[in-house]
Amino acid sequence: MSTLSNGDYVVFVIYFIIVSCYGFWIYKRKHNADATSKDYFLAEGSLTWWAIGASLIASNISAEQFIGTSGSAFKMGLAISTYEWMAAATLIIVAIFFIPIYLKNKIFTMPQFLHQRYNGTVAMVMAIFWLLLYIIVNLMSILYLGALAIHGISGLDIRLCISLLAIFAVVITLGGMKVIGYTDVIQVAVLILGGLAATYIGLGELTKNASDHSILAGLKTLHAEATDHFHMILKKDNNSYLDLPGISVLIGGMWIVNLNYWGCNQYITQRALGADLKTARAGLLFAAFLKLLMPIIVVLPGIAAYVLYQRGMFHQEMLSSKGIIDYNKAYPTLLNLLPTYLKGLSFAALTAAIVASLAGKANSIATIFTLDIYKKAINPQATDKKLVTLGKWSVVVAMALGVIMSLLIGEQLMGEGKQGFQYIQEYTGFVSPGIFAMFILGFFWKKATSNAALFATIGGFVFSVIFKFLPYYANLAFMAPYGFSKMNDKGVYEIPFIDRMGFVFLICVIGMFIISKIDGAKGVKTNGLEIDSSMFKTSRAFTAGALLVGGIIVALYSFFW
């Protein structure tokens, strides 16, 4: 039943009071009326390694994981965990190679990096793009999917849920990155506890009528009744192959997805850019360990819901108004089995995940708009006080736009019968290859020019669109034997979007190489970054932790291949 008891509301109110009071205490304790804009937006020098790691996960884990990933797990199984486990490997790479470059060159925002490495035109184009991406894709999807989840648990009107989430997130965001970073520690603790409660109840439901009710018995039952849902590498005949095309998740486009997200994304890297190298690396390593655990709370519940659905439960709850399976309902439906208080805890966990992501995204929007657009192009003489005030107003405006779009088009893009998580990944993937090509060559190849970067920026998007719609104008059946195309539900041979990203990335790299060579022949100068090999050396403790993470990932893929 989609309602909350008085006890559930008590648990939620306690969570709300704790987060609000702690956030206010952090704000009063660490706030300085004369704080610089970088201190406000980046919490420069004040976040510990555990706060950085927790904030990374809190900002990353949101409605698209709890709702979208669980829904995808219902449909395709454990394979969707690749986004979590590959992210753990990616965080190690970012910590070793990316963060030292940013910190050595005093880079605080991604557009600043592009301006410093290429030129102002490239930086401004990308700053505007990031603002649009964060508002149109990210804020809107987090608000809509989050409200959908809360509606499914509480029965509250979805429009009211969207509005309340936005207001709560704005309150947290206005305190600046220090408040966001430290309150995220509480948010992570709550979302893990609530997520574990959902997993526990799902596994318990599987062994409800058995003599052994242990968690281990639940896991054995889950594996036995959904064996086809416990493969990490999908075969070509799998119905979900277009979403996760086999081996490409290990050697193809999945690396572009993760390296772009964790290493070239203001929303994420912002957490570490205000710290020293040792602290930043420790925070990223901590986040990598947490990432390994995430499938327990966002994937296993979806598989459990699938098994219960196969047993005959949830049939009415899982169907949309059109009579088809609505994957986005898997997690909220499972939560409705929770008893009083635990349901309230899971409700608080969902809210924590959603609000933390919204706050992090809104802060990044404010940072880019204020430091990279307003100060660079509109008012270079703006004082820090004015920039902070403008940043707060931009948070409010961005959130209002997100609310409006989620109300107007959220249902059409992520509504009944659609996988919300896949929507986010595919449409972000239209630009990820070009951005990553521009960053990776900008890091490690001093001859890359601004013209080449513009090609990757614009050309990457254009080629992504071409590959998306090419199947409707050309028969790509000849690629099917190699796993690079598969017939979709419309009878058209389509290229899996992860493979599309790999193809577009290669085109962008080749194009940038050719254009840079032509520019070099014309005498065009480039702005190389300050890099030396000593930057990439790591401490023994970090190396040991990184090897442990890598070993666990290899073991997981080997066992669940």
Compute the distance between CA of residue 163 and CA of residue 21 in angstroms, rounded to an integer. Answer: 21
| Mean pLDDT lowest among 24-38, 75-89, 260-274, 482-496 | 24-38
Q: pLDDT of 277-292, one tens digit each?
A: 899 899 999 999 999 9
| Mean pLDDT lowest among 45-49, 378-382, 474-478 | 45-49
Q: What is the pLDDT of residue 556?
A: 94
Over residues 541-546, the mean pLDDT reads: 94
Return the CATH number at 377.
1.20.1730.10
Handedness of CA 348, 319, 299, 353 (dihedral sign): negative
Residue of higher predicted confidence among 555 and 56 = 555
Handedness of CA 296, 299, 302, 306 (dihedral sign): negative
pLDDT above 70: residue 412: no
Q: What is the pLDDT of residue 1?
A: 46
Compute the distance between CA of residue 176 and CA of residue 362 in angstroms, rounded to an integer. Answer: 10
Residue of higher predicted confidence among 270 and 155 = 155
Strands (E) in 335-404, as ranges, are: none
CB 270 within 8 A of CB 173: no
Residue 477 covered by a domain: no
pLDDT above 60: residue 17: yes
Residue 452 covered by a domain: no
Compute the distance between CA of residue 38 and CA of residue 285 in angstroms, rounded to an integer. Answer: 24
| Mean pLDDT lowest among 375-379, 432-436, 466-470 | 375-379
Q: What is the pLDDT of residue 455?
A: 94
Q: pLDDT of 178-193, one tens digit each?
A: 566 566 667 677 777 7
Residue 206 covered by a domain: yes
Q: What is the pLDDT of residue 425?
A: 73
Residue 358 covered by a domain: yes
Over residues 498-511, the mean pLDDT reads: 93
Q: pLDDT of 524-534, one tens digit each?
A: 888 878 888 88
Total count of residues recorded for the chain: 561
Q: For residue 418, what pLDDT band results from cuts at 50, 70 and 90?
A: low
Compute the distance between CA of residue 1 and CA of residue 234 in angstroms, rounded to an integer. Answer: 35
Residue 442 covered by a domain: no
Compute the distance between CA of residue 267 and CA of residue 273 in angstroms, rounded to an integer. Answer: 11
pLDDT above 60: residue 435: yes
Non-local (6+) Cβ contacts of 542 within 8 A are 95, 281, 282, 285
Residue 34 covered by a domain: yes
CB 287 within 8 A of CB 56: yes
Residue 446 covered by a domain: no
Q: pLDDT of 95-142, one tens digit each?
A: 999 999 888 888 877 888 888 899 888 888 888 888 888 888 778 888
CB 53 within 8 A of CB 283: yes
Domain, as residue range, for 82: 6-428+524-530+538-559
Residue 187 covered by a domain: yes
Non-local (6+) Cβ contacts of 456 within 8 A are 434, 435, 437, 438, 508, 511, 512
pTM (two decimals):
0.82
Over residues 498-525, the mean pLDDT reads: 93
Over residues 371-390, the mean pLDDT reads: 82
Q: For residue 450, what pLDDT band results from cuts at 50, 70 and 90?
A: very high
Q: What is the pLDDT of residue 164?
A: 86
Compute the distance between CA of residue 270 and CA of residue 45 in angstroms, rounded to an integer. Answer: 12
Compute the distance between CA of residue 165 and CA of residue 241 in angstroms, rounded to an integer. Answer: 34
Compute the distance between CA of residue 153 and CA of residue 11 in angstroms, rounded to an integer. Answer: 14
Compute the distance between CA of residue 529 and CA of residue 416 in angstroms, rounded to an integer. Answer: 48
**Domains in the chain, number:** 1
